[in-house]
C-alpha cells in the first residue's frame, strides 16, 4: 500500500514541561517534582505523529534562529519528517510553558515567537500542499497562512483537516475549504456558541466534524449520517498534553489510506489513548503498532 502523504502547516514550539501535585491557582506557587524540555507545538506534533502512524510527512512552519530552533529542527527531522522547506527567521522560537498535575490534566501558556512570522506561502510550500493526500492545519500560526494553504489544497483536490485550536473566530473563506473539522468542547463553543450536547451545530460550518471529549470519547457528525458517539479507549492517564495532536494526525493518516471517516475516528481514538500513557508532547506520540494494539474494529 502506498504511504499516505500528509502535509502539516503549523507551529513548532519548545515545550518546557513541569509536573506537580496540582496546577497552581492565580498567585499561587506549587512545588513541582519533575521537569523535561521536549519539542512540541501542534504543527510539529501532528507532523511527527503522522509519520509514526505510517504516513509520509512534510512539515511547513517557521523556527527562530535561537538554540531552541536548532534543537527543534534536529528533533523533527530525526523523527522522519521532511523539514526541507521549514523556515528559519531571526529571533526567538515558539515556546510553550506546560504544567501537568498528577491526574494528567495540564495548563499551557504559549508564546508564538517565530510562528507569528509564518506569512506568505512560497511557491514551493504551495506545491507541497497541492501534492499532498491530506493537509492538516491548526491556528497557532497566522490564520491568513492557514487559509491560503486550505484554499490551495481545496483547488488541488487535497483533503483538508482543520484542528481549530486554540479557540478563535475563523474566516468564512477558511471554513469553506475545510473537509473535516476537529475541535474540543471549548473550541466548539467558540465557533458555534453551543457545546458538547449539540455537536450537529458544527455542520452549519463544515460538511463533517469531530468533537473530542477527552476521556468521554468523541462525537463524529456529518451532513449525511447525523451524529455518532465514539467511546474513548480506557488507559491509565499520565499526561494529556499531546493527545489531541495524536488523534488529529492518526485521523488524517487513516482517512488518507482510504478508511471510512467513522472508522478513521475510531483508530484516531486509539492513537489519543496510546499518547496519554507517557509524559510529554512529541516524545509521547505513538507509533502505528501501539495504535493498532488499542484499536477495536467495529463489530460486523
Active site positions, annotated:
245
Are the beta carbons of 196 and 221 closer than 8 angstroms? no
**Separation CA 63–CA 44 (nearest Å):** 11
Binding residues for K(+): 239, 241, 275, 278, 280
Binding residues for substrate: 13-15, 41-45, 140, 245
CA within 13 Å, CB half, 228: 14
Decide: helix, strand or coil at residue 144.
helix
**Separation CA 172–CA 287 (nearest Å):** 35
What's the farthest any 2 CA atoms get from each other in the chain?
56
Report the b/e string of 8-29 with b at 16+ CB within 10 A. bbbbbbbbbbebbeeeeeeeee
Binding residues for ATP: 184, 212-217, 244-245
Binding residues: 13-15, 41-45, 140, 184, 212-217, 239, 241, 244-245, 275, 278, 280
Amino acid at each position: 500500500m502506498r504511504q499516505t502523504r500528509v502535509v502539516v502547516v503549523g507551529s513548532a514550539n519548545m515545550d518546557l514541561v513541569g509536573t506537580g501535585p496540582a496546577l497552581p491557582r492565580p498567585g499561587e506557587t506549587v512545588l513541582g517534582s519533575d521537569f523535561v524540555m521536549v519539542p512540541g507545538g501542534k504543527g510539529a506534533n501532528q507532523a511527527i505523529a503522522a509519520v509514526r502512524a505510517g504516513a509520509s510527512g512534510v512539515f511547513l512552519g517557521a523556527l527562530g534562529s535561537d538554540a531552541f530552533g536548532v534543537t527543534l529542527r534536529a528533533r523533527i527531522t530525526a523523527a522522519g519528517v521532511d523539514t526541507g522547506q521549514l523556515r528559519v527567521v531571526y529571533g526567538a522560537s515558539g515556546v510553550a510553558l506546560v504544567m501537568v498535575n498528577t491526574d494528567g490534566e495540564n495548563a499551557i501558556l504559549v508564546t508564538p515567537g517565530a510562528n507569528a512570522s509564518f506569512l506568505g506561502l512560497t511557491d514551493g510550500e504551495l506545491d507541497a500542499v497541492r501534492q499532498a493526500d491530506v493537509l492538516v492545519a491548526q491556528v497557532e500560526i497566522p490564520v491568513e497562512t492557514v487559509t491560503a494553504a486550505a484554499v490551495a489544497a481545496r483547488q488541488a483536490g487535497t483533503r483538508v483537516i482543520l484542528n481549530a485550536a486554540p479557540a478563535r473566530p475563523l474566516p468564512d473563506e477558511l471554513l469553506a475549504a475545510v473537509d473535516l473539522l476537529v475541535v474540543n468542547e471549548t473550541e466548539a463553543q467558540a465557533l458555534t456558541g453551543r457545546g458538547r450536547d449539540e455537536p450537529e451545530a458544527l455542520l452549519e460550518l463544515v460538511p463533517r466534524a469531530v468533537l473530542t471529549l477527552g476521556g468521554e470519547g468523541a462525537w463524529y457528525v456529518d451532513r449525511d449520517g447525523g451524529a455518532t458517539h465514539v467511546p474513548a479507549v480506557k488507559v491509565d492517564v499520565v499526561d494529556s498534553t499531546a493527545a489531541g495532536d495524536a488523534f488529529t494526525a492518526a485521523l488524517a493518516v487513516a482517512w488518507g489510506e482510504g478508511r471510512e471517516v467513522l472508522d478513521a475516528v475510531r483508530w484516531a481514538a486509539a492513537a489519543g489513548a496510546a499518547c496519554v500513557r507517557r509524559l510529554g508532547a512529541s516524545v509521547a506520540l505513538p507509533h502505528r503498532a501501539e495504535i493498532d494494539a488499542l484499536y477495536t474494529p467495529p463489530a460486523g
